[in-house]
Structure 1
Amino acid sequence: MSYQKPTINKVDFAMMSKYGSPLKSQKIRSEIAGVDVRELVQNYGSPLFVFSQQEIEEKYHRLHEAFSSRYPDVVFGWSYKTNYLNAICNLYHKLGSIAEVVSEFEYQKARALGIEGKDIIFNGPYKPKEALKVAVEEGAKIHIDHLFEINDLEEIARELGVKIPVAIRVNMDTGIYPQWSRFGFNYESGEAIDAIERIHSGGLLELTGLHSHIGTFMLDASAYGKETAKLMDLKHQAEERFGYRIEYIDIGGGFASKNRLKGVYQSPDVIVPTPDDYAQQITEAIYTHNKSDTLPRLYLETGRHLIDEAGYLLTTVQAYKRFPDGMKGYILDAGVNLLYTATWYNFNFELDRRYEGLNEPSMLNGPLCMNIDILSENIMLPPLDRGTVITIGPVGAYNYTQSMQFIRYRPAAVLIDKERNVHLIKEPDDLETINYKERIPDYLKRS
């Protein structure tokens, strides 16, 4: 290694603690699900999204057991927006999940995977009328977000000559701020019961379900108890006042993963509720507030909690430099184009092996020609070689679906099965992928 001018950097935290020296500790991950990370990069390129089937199934069974051991009728709806890679969706469907979608695109994706309309929950604030009609004809569970959808569905009911079963989405105060009041009808103001009355007066729709989704990355399990209690109260009112039979309640998703929110300094192992915490709050509220002879079916739309820790992004050090302030900066081949959620989370960065030398404050930059392309502003790292493979996680939730083709092509994705076999589940983009739908007018074509 060539000579480098020495620098002096101030370390802004205690040099020693019960967790060891920040100058010597290193986080190491040489393999994922039994497969060497350097081998993965060699075979499939860098950067590379990697998903572990073993971790997916373990998390799924743990959460399902927490609910099914407490409640007799529980159905999971896989949240397509969380990760809509076909192989990932099919894995959750194989485990028993139906599909939960929030757009006509996701609806079409679920149908293309062979999911019947009756096994699709159709959410979202914007459902084009044409998409609603298809969903009605195919028997999907439609969750109404606003009054305009009531009007659209009534027109469809007249056109098809049918009475359409529907649910409404409800927003409410559960003590969590900011309150997700943008979606659905408000409980406290009476807007939700007014919407039910409006549906009843029209006579063309049949209310069969109630839905709420109170937030994301929820660290207070008791908020779900409050949510469920209010849904059960609304269920009672709908049945007593309007004669409806509410077949199900859908409490949405939002359960936290073991990711680390920026600005939260306690360990995820301390602050993230367990599956039993969530399940106890929800099921106890149903039993406590149920006033009918039967219990409603319980739907959950959990995404992040199930997939986040099963997803990794492998990236490779391409270069390094010394900034004017003395901090060392590493240039990686993955950046905010692939990890949009780096805005909110402090990911784990794990090295492919142990490196010699003391740690120093370092910055991890992505490959984009953008000053904001920073994955970590201040991380203690030893001197890394060009070609070092860094594993970033947890990134299974939202990062692939929100990744973008900006400056760089989107990379490949692989799934490692329980026998340690690696399956390519998404080829990397290339110029043909990007140019496929583009058209050049004749007068702009080069001769």
Structure 2
Amino acid sequence: MRAHEAGAMHGDIGDRGPGWLRPPADVNALVPQLWPRQVERGAGGALTVAGLDVRELAAGYGTPAYVLDEDDLRSRARDFRDAFPDVDVYYAGKAFLCRAVVRMIAEEGLHLDVCSGGELATALSAGMPAERIGFHGNNKSVAELTRALDAGVGRIILDSFTEIDRLTALARERGVRPGVLIRVTVGVEAHTHEFIATAHEDQKFGFSLAGGAAAAAAFRVIDEGVLDLRGLHSHIGSQIFDTSGFEVSARRVLALQAQIRDARGVELPELDLGGGFGIAYTTQDDPSTPAELAKRLRKIVDSECAAENLAVPHLSIEPGRAIVGPAVFTLYEVGTVKDVDGLRTYVSVDGGMSDNIRTALYDASYSATLAGRASTAEPLLARVVGKHCESGDIVVKDEFLPADVQPGDLVAVPGTGAYCRSMASNYNHVPRPPVVAVRDGRARLIVRRETEEDLLALDVG
């Protein structure tokens, strides 16, 4: 939902009645904060990215396709690196990972967090320095931990007592001393969707602070003396705009750090504050800049360390979707346009929930625009839907498109860099789309489109 004018609201038009959403003054206008930095309308009205017409991309790579503005991703990585110059900035591999992106973030000086053996394999195969990798996950297998140790992964984030024992045994066998962090569940409510809030007590991640498990975990690691406990880790959720949660989280984690110091005489040298910073999917979203975030977070840590008489530890942050999310849009082709008894117009595209499950899974809101041309037609409030055999196969719940939108038109949906390709599926046996990186007017394929042959190759029956 583009929500061009002040006062526009999210939601289903059926919930609020006619007139709750005003049409835009110009249905062709792009809202800058929603799009990669090098996307604009060309002279003929079609979108261009880094100077390349999306009609050329559709002709060359087909639709649907994820289109990555490479310089946009790199510039967002630099924005965080420059705003946090003495902080380790971890790119979220789970948001989107492929070898080309690993190389981009490595070249821009970032660290990388992974949470599975597959993500670790991708990172290592692309040449990411192992010492700049952090390994997350609530159920790391023996094989995954063994690979991490053998590769020399810089930080392993411990998530359970079983994992402490498992990693301790493996490290002792190999005679190595890996750096580890204790993931602390701090009981902070993040104002986000229930399934992406990760610091309330009743969930699968980390060691409970309130119940004493976090302190017990730290004491076990220190007393065993096999693992190198570098610090504590806290992550309160994802798509977060309000830094007040980080203030409460930092206060509680640093109080635990002081407790560890007092009980064991060890002052841990590192602290990972997590992150999960929000991005703009519609104009209702107002994300902070990296510089603003850095200023607030440093103030929080400095204040809480002073209160506990602690030296300020070496910090890490995990921006989450904030680096890759805005750098990508998805390009679709319209297949049908259907008016349903004057109640709603459905614009069906050639992708859907198999390439973007977030609308169905999280009730996420997106915007969209006619991409292959400009139009002088009146705005039409439409719902952009996919081709899958599900009534919940919705890409954009409510959006103004030109009333002359028709089969064969190209439609672009911004903000699809995070958790779209990485959560993509083959539902209805639909092959997953390619990822095309564009830079300086040139496109290159970094993840190819799946084919029906790929699907059948796994079917050994």
TM class by shorter-chain length? 0.7 to 0.9
Q: C-alpha offsets along residues 82-119 of structure 1, whole Å, 9 cap, x if unaligned?
A: 10122122111110112211111111111111223322
Contact 2:100 2:446 in 1 (8 A): yes
- CA separation of 1:361/1:229 partners in 2, compared to 1, >3 Å: closer, same or farther? same
- CA separation of 1:162/1:48 partners in 2, compared to 1, >3 Å: closer, same or farther? closer
Contact 1:404 1:410 in 2 (8 A): yes
Contact 2:269 2:314 in 1 (8 A): yes
Please, which moves more after superposition, 387-396 or 126-135? Answer: 126-135
- CA separation of 1:324/1:220 partners in 2, compared to 1, >3 Å: closer, same or farther? same
Q: Which amino acid aligns with 2:382?
A: S
Partner of residue 307 from structure 1, selected from 320, 324, 329: 324
**2:284 equivalent to 1:273:** no
Q: C-alpha offsets along residues 349-397 of structure 1, whole Å, 9 cap, x if unaligned?
A: 1112222432333222211122221223443331212211111011111
Contact 1:224 1:281 in 2 (8 A): no
Look up the match of 1:134. Answer: 147
- CA separation of 1:199/1:355 partners in 2, compared to 1, >3 Å: closer, same or farther? same
- CA separation of 1:50/1:15 partners in 2, compared to 1, >3 Å: closer, same or farther? closer
Contact 2:69 2:437 in 1 (8 A): yes
Pairing 1:31-50 to 2, within 5 Å after superposition: 31-50=48-67
- CA separation of 1:176/1:379 partners in 2, compared to 1, >3 Å: closer, same or farther? closer
Deviation of 1:175 (Å): 4.5
Look up the match of 2:129. Answer: 116
Contact 2:247 2:300 in 1 (8 A): yes
Partner of residue 210 from structure 1, selected from 232, 244, 247: 232
Taking only the aligned residue pairs, the percentage that are identical comes to 25
- CA separation of 1:100/1:378 partners in 2, compared to 1, >3 Å: closer, same or farther? closer
Partner of residue 386 from structure 1, selected from 387, 407, 429: 407
**2:18 equivalent to 1:12:** yes
**2:256 equivalent to 1:250:** no
Contact 2:189 2:200 in 1 (8 A): no
**2:92 equivalent to 1:79:** yes
Contact 1:78 1:89 in 2 (8 A): no
Contact 2:81 2:110 in 1 (8 A): no
Look up the match of 2:301. Answer: 286
Deviation of 1:239 (Å): 3.0
In structure 1, C-alpha distance between the alignment counterparts of 2:96 and 2:140, rounded to whole Å? 20
Q: Helix, strand or coil: the match of 1:400?
A: coil
Look up the match of 2:119. Answer: 106
Contact 1:221 1:277 in 2 (8 A): no
- CA separation of 1:162/1:96 partners in 2, compared to 1, >3 Å: closer, same or farther? closer
**2:245 equivalent to 1:223:** yes
Q: Helix, strand or coil: the match of 1:115?
A: coil
**2:166 equivalent to 1:152:** yes
Deviation of 1:218 (Å): 0.8
**2:250 equivalent to 1:237:** no
Q: Helix, strand or coil: the match of 1:268?
A: coil
In structure 2, C-alpha distance between the alignment counterparts of 1:432 and 1:414, rounded to whole Å? 21
- CA separation of 1:24/1:196 partners in 2, compared to 1, >3 Å: closer, same or farther? closer
How many residue pairs get aligned? The number is: 416
Q: Helix, strand or coil: the match of 1:402?
A: coil
Contact 1:208 1:245 in 2 (8 A): no
Contact 2:80 2:89 in 1 (8 A): no
RMSD: 2.4
In structure 2, C-alpha distance between the alignment counterparts of 1:340 and 1:58, rounded to whole Å? 27
In structure 2, C-alpha distance between the alignment counterparts of 1:27 and 1:334, rounded to whole Å? 24
- CA separation of 1:300/1:377 partners in 2, compared to 1, >3 Å: closer, same or farther? closer
What is the TM-score when the length of structure 2 is the normalising length?
0.83
Contact 2:357 2:424 in 1 (8 A): yes
Q: C-alpha offsets along residues 302-346 of structure 1, whole Å, 9 cap, x if unaligned?
A: 231111111100001112223245533222112111111123322
Look up the match of 1:443. Answer: none
Q: Helix, strand or coil: the match of 1:387?
A: coil
Greater radius of gyration (CA): 1
Q: Which amino acid aligns with 1:421?
A: R
**2:425 equivalent to 1:424:** no
Look up the match of 1:364. Answer: 384
**2:388 equivalent to 1:347:** no
Q: Helix, strand or coil: the match of 1:401?
A: coil
Please, which moves more after superposition, 354-363 or 93-102? Answer: 354-363
Q: Which amino acid aligns with 2:346?
A: G
In structure 2, C-alpha distance between the alignment counterparts of 1:279 and 1:371, rounded to whole Å? 43
Q: C-alpha offsets along residues 110-143 of structure 1, whole Å, 9 cap, x if unaligned?
A: 1111223322111110100122122223332111
**2:109 equivalent to 1:96:** yes
Q: Which amino acid aligns with 2:272?
A: D
Contact 2:329 2:412 in 1 (8 A): yes
Look up the match of 2:7. Answer: none
Look up the match of 1:190. Answer: 212
Q: C-alpha offsets along residues 28-64 of structure 1, whole Å, 9 cap, x if unaligned?
A: 6522222111111111111111011221122222222
In structure 1, C-alpha distance between the alignment counterparts of 2:413 and 2:227, rounded to whole Å? 48
- CA separation of 1:373/1:162 partners in 2, compared to 1, >3 Å: closer, same or farther? closer
- CA separation of 1:218/1:23 partners in 2, compared to 1, >3 Å: closer, same or farther? closer
Deviation of 1:245 (Å): 4.5
Q: Which amino acid aligns with 1:101?
A: V
Q: Helix, strand or coil: the match of 2:263?
A: helix
Contact 2:366 2:414 in 1 (8 A): yes
In structure 2, C-alpha distance between the alignment counterparts of 1:326 and 1:229, rounded to whole Å? 51
In structure 2, C-alpha distance between the alignment counterparts of 1:93 and 1:257, rounded to whole Å? 22
Q: Helix, strand or coil: the match of 1:399?
A: coil
Q: Helix, strand or coil: the match of 2:144?
A: helix
Deviation of 1:254 (Å): 0.6
In structure 1, C-alpha distance between the alignment counterparts of 2:353 and 2:148, rounded to whole Å? 35
Contact 1:415 1:425 in 2 (8 A): yes
Q: Which amino acid aligns with 1:89?
A: V
Q: C-alpha offsets along residues 256-283 of structure 1, whole Å, 9 cap, x if unaligned?
A: 01124xxxxx7323xx233233212321
Contact 2:367 2:399 in 1 (8 A): no
In structure 2, C-alpha distance between the alignment counterparts of 1:155 and 1:349, rounded to whole Å? 52
Q: Helix, strand or coil: the match of 1:306?
A: coil
